Structure 1
Amino acid sequence: MSVAMTTGVEWSRHLVMLPIVLPLLCGAVLATLTQGWHRLKFALAYGAVLALLANAVALMHFADSEWKNGIGIYLAANWAAPFGIALVADRLAAAMLLLTSLLALAALHYAQPRWSRIGVHFHPLFQFLLMGINGAFLTHDLFNLFVFFEVMLAASYGLVLHGYNVERLRASLQYIAVNLVAALFFLVGTALIYATTGTLNMADIAARAAVLAGGDASLFKTGIAVLALAFLTKSAMWPLGFWLPTTYAAASPPVAVMLVLMTKVGAYVILRLWLLTFSGTAGDVARFGYEALLWGGMATIVFGAAGMLATDTAGRLAGYAAIVSSGTLLAVVGYGQPSLVTAGLYYFLASTLAIGAFVLLIELVDRIRTPGAAILALTAEAYAVEDMPAEPKGQGVPAAMALLSLAFAACALTIAGLPPLSGFVAKFGMFHALLDPGPHAPGIATAGWTLMALVFVSGLISIISLMRFGVRTFWISDAAPPRLHAAELAPVFALLLVSVLMTVQAAPVFDYLARAGAAIHRPALYIDRVLGAKPVPAPVTRAP
C-alpha cells in the first residue's frame, strides 16, 4: 500500500508552535540536572533561546511576505477554530517573540557568571517563563491565555525569590498576592464572557459580540471590564501598579529584565483584545472602554513620572520608567488612531529595550555607589556646596567608569526620549501622528493635546531624575573603578546596540509596524482568517 500525502500542507505553520514547545522541552530536560552542571545548563538554555531568536526572525519573514493576510495559524490536534486550540502568528506577534528572545539572551548572558549558579532551578524556571510569555503572544483563546499566564506567573514567583533575601522575600509575597487576585479577576471575567458568547476563541468572541444587544451586551461589557482588571494590573495601570516599583527594585537583574517584558504582556493583550473586539463596526459594544484606557493611561503616565521624580533608588527609577512606558501604550490604544498605534508600537519596543538595559546596568553601577558617597552627595545638594575644579593633572578616566557612564547616558537618553536614539524617534512619531491625524479627521481633540503634553513633561521629568542619579553616581563618587565581568557588560551594550539599529533603520521598522498596525485594525479579515483555517486533510490511502 502507498500513502499519498496532501501537497497543500504548509510546513512553515509548524514554526508557530516552536516558541512554546522548545522552552517546554528544554525546561523539562534542565529540571533533571542537579547542582554543579552549570556549563551544561547554560549551554542548553542559551542554545534554546538562540533557536527561539532564529524562529522569531523566520516568523517575521513568513508573516510579512508569505502567509495569507500576514497571519500564520497552527491548529493544535488538527481541530478547526473555534472548537480547537488555535495558535496565531502575525507580524505583531512575531515582533513580540523577537523582543522576548533578545531580552532573554541578554538576561541569560548576564546571569551566567553568578546569578544562574546560586540556585539549582534557575534555568528550568527561566525556560518555563519563556514558554508562558511566548504562549501569551501566540494563543488566540482566552482559556489557554489563562493557562499561559499562570505558567508565566508560576515561573516568575520562583525567579523573583531567586537568591532570596529579606527585601526580596517581602516583595515577592506582595507580588504573588497581587497576581493571585488578578488571576481571580481573569477567571470571573472569562466566565462572564463565555456565558454571553458561548465561546472563548477571540476571533469568535469578536464575531459574536458584534450582534449582542440589550442585557447580553451589558453582561458582556461587564465580563470584559472584569477581565481587563487582570491585564491592567499586570500592565501596572494606575492605581493598580503600586506593586511594580518594589518588585523591580528587589528582583535580581536578569529576573528584573524579564519582569520589564512581563509588564508589557498585559498591555499587549489589551491592545489585541480591544482592537479586535471593539472596533467601530462592533454594534452595541463598539468603542467600549476606549475613554477609560485613554484617561487611565494618561493618569498612569502622571503617576510614573511623579514616582521617578520622588525616588533616588535606581531599581525604583526603572520601575517607574516602566510604568510611564506602559501608561503611554495604554493611552495610545485608547486614543484609537491607527497611525498613533504604529508610533506607539515603536515606542513599546524602544522603551522595553532601554529599560531592560538599565535594569542590567543597575547592579554594575551600584558597585561604585558606596554609602559614604551617597551621604556626601546628598549633603552637597542640601547645603549647596560648590565644588571648585582643581587643575587638571592629566589622569585618564578608568575604562570601567567610562563604559558604565556611556551606557547609563544611552539608557537615560532613550528612556527620556531625547535625541539621537530610538526614544526620540518614537516620541517624534507619536507627536507627528497626533498633529497630523489624516485628511478626514476633524482635528486634534483636547485629549490629544493633553497626551502630547504628558509625554513631553514625563520625558523632561525622566531626564531630570536620571541625570540627578547619574551626577550622584559618576561625578561626586570617588570610589575605585568596579570590577566588571565581560559577560555582565556585553548584554547591556548589546541591547543598546539594538536600540541604535532601531534608530538607524527607523524607516523599515516603522514600515513593518505600520503593516502590523493596519492588520490589527482590520478585525474582519482577522476573524475570517482564523475561523476559516482548515484542518490538514487525512492521508489518502490507495491500493497498489
Structure 2
Amino acid sequence: MQLASHLDIAPIILPLITGAFLLLFDERRHSFKALINVSSTLCLLIIAWLLVMQADVEGSVASVYLLGNWAAPYGIVLVVDRLSALMVLLSCLLAIAALVFSLARWHKGGQHFHSLFQFLLMGLNGAFLTGDLFNLFVFFEVLLAASYGLMLHGSGVARVRFGMHYIVVNLGASMLFLIGVSLIYGVTGTLNMADLAVRIPAVAAQDRALLEAGTAILGIAFLTKAGMWPLCFWLPGAYSAAATPVAALFSIMTKVGVYAVLRLSPLLLGTQAGDSASFGDVGLLIAGLVTMGFGTIGVLASQAMARLVSYSVLVSSGTLLAAVGMADAGVTAGALYYLVTSTLTIAALFLLVELIERSQDPAANILAVTMEAYGDDPEEEEIVEEVGVTLPATLAILGLCFALCGVLLAGMPPLSGFLGKFALLAAALSTGDDNAISGMAWAFFAVLIISGLFAMVAMLRVGIRTFWAQPTEAAVPRVLLVEFAPIALLLALCVAMTIKAGPVMAYVDATSQSLHTPDAYIEGVLSARQQPSPQMEAHP
C-alpha cells in the first residue's frame, strides 16, 4: 500500500506517537518538548489541510480507512468526508494557536503538559474521523482523560474545585454514553454508523421504544458535553478557571458534542429512518433556544471577562443545537459556517482576556460583587517566567483586537460573525411550507438577534471599563510577541473567512447536502473493500 493511503489515520497516530515519545524525557527539558510538540502539531495542520482538499475534490466520502483491513460493518472504519476533515482542520488550528501562546510561560506550569496536549488532539481527531459508535466512545474517553489533566494544569484552588465538577459531570455523561450505545446495539446488532442507518428503518415495532430510549440517552450524553441547558452548570466555572491556552483549546470541546449530534441526527433519525424519522428534533430546537437565552443572560450579567467568554461558549452551542433541530440543509450550512467563525473568535477572546487583565489592578476586582461566587482567586500564584520579545503600543493593539472580537461575537457587519448569523437567519426564515414562516423560526430569529445585541452591550461595557475609563496609574501590560501572534492568527482567519466567504459557503453547503442526503456516505462505507495482501495477490 502507498504511504498516501494511510493519510486518514495520521491525525490519530501522529499525536499518539508524539505524546508517548515525550513521556520518555524529563519534565525539565521544556524547550526540547516544546519543539517536538510544535513540530508535530504543524505536521498535523498540514495533514488536516490535505484531508480538506481531498474531501472537497472527491465529494461526499473522500475515503474509508479499514483498520485491520476488515470491511464494515464488522471492522472498525475511519471515514474522511467534508465534515470530519473540516473539524480536524479546526482542531489543529486552535491547537497551534493555544500551543504557541503557552510557550511564553504556561507550558512550564505543570507536569506532562505537552504529552497531554498531544493525547487530547488524538482524541479529538479520532472522534471526528471514526465511523463507529463504540470507537466514538473510546475517543471521547481519550480526549476527556487528557482534558482532566489539562484542566488542572497550573494548580490553584479554583482550578481544583471547578476541575472536580468538570470531571464528575463528564464521567456521568460517559456512563450515559455507554448505556445508550448498549441499548442501540441490543436492538440493532451493530454499531457501525452507516450500517445503523440501514438497519434502523427495519427495527420491529415492539423494539422501537427501546431504540428511541437508547438514542435519547445517547443524546443526553452528547448534549451534556455540548453544554446544553440545564446540563451546562459546570461549564462557565470550569472554562473560566482553566489555564488560558487550555481554555482556548477547550472552546472546541463543546463542539465535539455538537458534531456528534450533527453527524448522527440526519444519518440515523433522518427522513429515511421510518417511524423514528425526526425523533427529538423539536426537543433539540427548544433546548437550543433555551441554552441561547441562558447563555445570553450570563454574558450580560458577567463581571469577569473570562466568565463572559465562558457564557459565550453556551450561546454558540445553543445556536448550533437549535440549528441542528431545524433539520434543514440550508440552516445546517449556515450553522457550519457559524461554528467555525464562533469557535475561532471565542478561542481568540480567551487568549486576549489574560493579556488585557494584566493592565488591571487586582484590587479593582473587588468591585465585581460576584467574584467570590465565580471562584476567582486574586491571591492565586501564577507562573511569572516569560520569554520572547515585548510588543510595543500594547494597549492600542489589544484594544483593536478586543473590538474585532466584539464585532465578531455580536455578529455585526461586515465580518464573518455577521455572515454566519445572516446565513442562519436567511435559511431559517425559508423553512416553512408555502412561504409561511413557522413560529419556531421566528423564535430562533428573535433569540439570535437578542443574543447578538446583548453580546454587543456586554463587550462595550467591558471595553469602556478597560480601555476608556482606565485609571491613569494603571500599568501598561507587558505582552510578548509569542502571545500576540496566536490571537492575530485566529482573528486573521476570521477576516479571511469574510473575504473568501463564497468558497467557504460553497464548501459548507456541500457538506450540509451530504449530511442530509446520507446515501453516498452509507454506500461509501459499506462498499469499501479490503486491500489485497501479498498472499491474496499471489493466490487470487
Tell me if TM exceeds 0.5.
yes
Task: Select 1:523's aligned residue among 518, 521, 527.
Answer: 518
CA contact (8 A) 1:377 1:472 kept: no
What CA distance in whole angstroms lies between the structure 1 residues aligned with 2:56 and 2:414? 28
Q: Which residue of 1 aligns with 2:34?
A: 42
Q: Which residue of 2 aligns with 1:311?
A: 302
Task: Select 2:53's aligned residue among 61, 68, 83.
Answer: 61
CA contact (8 A) 1:374 1:472 kept: no
What CA distance in whole angstroms lies between the structure 1 residues aligned with 2:265 and 2:147? 26
CA contact (8 A) 2:342 2:417 kept: yes
Residue-by-residue CA offset, 1:250-297 (whole Å, 9 max, x unaligned): 000111012111111000000001010111121111110100110110
- 1:74 match: secondary structure: strand
CA contact (8 A) 1:502 1:509 kept: yes
CA contact (8 A) 1:414 1:422 kept: yes
Q: Which residue of 2 aligns with 1:413?
A: 407
CA contact (8 A) 2:329 2:516 kept: yes
1:503 and 2:494 correspond: no
What CA distance in whole angstroms lies between the structure 2 residues aligned with 1:371 and 1:46? 33
CA contact (8 A) 1:368 1:480 kept: yes
Q: Which residue of 2 aligns with 1:147?
A: 138
Relative to the length of structure 2, the TM-score reads: 0.93
What CA distance in whole angstroms lies between the structure 2 residues aligned with 1:171 and 1:230? 20
What CA distance in whole angstroms lies between the structure 2 residues aligned with 1:352 and 1:455? 17
Give ranges in structure 2 of 5+ residues lacking alignment: 370-391
Alpha-carbon spacing, 1:211–1:369, altered in 2? closer, same or farther (3 Å): same
CA contact (8 A) 1:34 1:120 kept: no
Q: Which residue of 1 aligns with 2:14?
A: 22
What CA distance in whole angstroms lies between the structure 1 residues aligned with 2:264 and 2:25? 40
Alpha-carbon spacing, 1:86–1:319, altered in 2? closer, same or farther (3 Å): same
What CA distance in whole angstroms lies between the structure 2 residues aligned with 1:307 and 1:206? 39
Q: Which residue of 2 aligns with 1:5?
A: none
CA contact (8 A) 1:267 1:329 kept: yes
Q: Which residue of 1 aligns with 2:278?
A: 287
Q: Following TM superposition, by how much is the alpha carbon of 1:10 offset from its aligned partner in structure 2, in angstroms? A: 6.9
Alpha-carbon spacing, 1:10–1:444, altered in 2? closer, same or farther (3 Å): farther
Q: Following TM superposition, by how much is the alpha carbon of 1:522 offset from its aligned partner in structure 2, in angstroms? A: 1.2
Alpha-carbon spacing, 1:358–1:223, altered in 2? closer, same or farther (3 Å): same
- What letter matches 1:406 in structure 2? L
Residue-by-residue CA offset, 1:442-468 (whole Å, 9 max, x unaligned): 531100011011000000011111111
- 2:182 match: secondary structure: helix
What CA distance in whole angstroms lies between the structure 2 residues aligned with 1:409 and 1:92? 31
What CA distance in whole angstroms lies between the structure 2 residues aligned with 1:57 and 1:105? 14
1:464 and 2:457 correspond: yes
CA contact (8 A) 1:103 1:353 kept: yes
Task: Select 1:164's aligned residue among 155, 168, 172.
Answer: 155
Q: Which residue of 2 aligns with 1:400?
A: 394
- 1:444 match: secondary structure: coil
Count of aligned pairs between the two proteins: 515
Residue-by-residue CA offset, 1:107-131 (whole Å, 9 max, x unaligned): 0000012010122300000000000
Q: Which residue of 1 aligns with 2:488?
A: 493
Residue-by-residue CA offset, 1:284-323 (whole Å, 9 max, x unaligned): 1111010011011001000000111111111111111000
Q: Which residue of 1 aligns with 2:374?
A: none
Residues 182-201 of structure 1: pairs in structure 2 closer than 5 A? 182-201=173-192
- What letter matches 1:472 in structure 2? R
What CA distance in whole angstroms lies between the structure 1 residues aligned with 2:442 and 2:197? 31
Relative to the length of structure 1, the TM-score reads: 0.92
CA contact (8 A) 2:60 2:82 kept: no
Give ranges in structure 1 of 5+ residues lacking alignment: 1-8, 379-397
Query: Which one has a bigger Cα radius of gyration?
Result: 1
- 2:80 match: secondary structure: strand
Residue identity (%): 48
- 1:72 match: secondary structure: strand
- What letter matches 2:80 in structure 1? A
1:443 and 2:433 correspond: no
What CA distance in whole angstroms lies between the structure 1 residues aligned with 2:323 and 2:451? 15
Task: Select 1:101's aligned residue among 74, 86, 92.
Answer: 92
- What letter matches 2:20 in structure 1? A
Residues 142-541 of structure 1: pairs in structure 2 closer than 5 A? 142-373=133-364, 399-437=393-431, 442-478=435-471, 479-539=474-534, 540=536
What CA distance in whole angstroms lies between the structure 2 residues aligned with 1:441 and 1:223? 36
- 1:151 match: secondary structure: helix
- 1:405 match: secondary structure: helix
